[in-house]
Amino acid sequence: MELAVVVKPHGLQGEVSVSLNTDFPERLAGWPSLELAGPGGARPVRVETVRGITGGRAIVKLDGIEDRDAAEAIRGHVLQVEQSDLPPAPDGAFYEFQIIGLRVVTTGGEDLGRVREVLRTGANDVYETERALIPAIEDVVREIDLERGEIVVADIEGLLK
């Protein structure tokens, strides 16, 4: 599972700017089983520090990346983890891979299709189905049931595409 993509070097000490694909970037530091994947394959890596988390980006220091040249060499590489190595999501939170593929139905029983993508808008996530764009907010999403494979949403005027 992709947690972050290296966008560019940051400074001269080997730090990199990353684009985040996780709602829990602070967990990257000290994570025991991360991999850095690129054109040459994947290798284990340890995140020393995470700072400057803002707007879906962060500054990360990786063990073994000590200067700007080494940071430049990993531009475009992906920080990833096996799904089986993920810690449980906090209560009431879900990983993106758990949401994608769930069937969405309204409280009135109308089938809105399956979640194809989770769009990150900044204010809140949006679940995209074949028929609707569903804001992932409490007033709209009434229930997420992973066992049933279903998301129940409120019947709201204008919800359908």
Give me the pLDDT at residue 160, please.
Answer: 67
Q: What is the pTM of this model?
A: 0.69
Domains, the chain, in order of start with CATH, read 2-85 (2.40.30.60), 96-153 (2.30.30.240)
In the prediction, which pLDDT does 21 show?
A: 86
DSSP state of 88: P
Element (H, E) at 51: strand 47-54
Question: How confident is the chain (161 residues) per 10-residue block, as mean pLDDT?
Answer: 95 96 84 91 95 92 96 97 83 88 95 94 89 93 96 84 59
Under DSSP, is residue 7 helix (H, G, I), strand (E, B) or coil? strand
- The conformation of residue 137, written as its DSSP 8-state character, comes to S
Which residues face 50 on adjacent strands? Answer: 60
Type of residue found at 100:
I
3 state DSSP class of 107: coil
Q: What's the confidence (pLDDT) of residue 25?
A: 87
Which residues, 6+ apart, have CB-to-CB distance to 30 below 8 Å? Answer: 46, 47
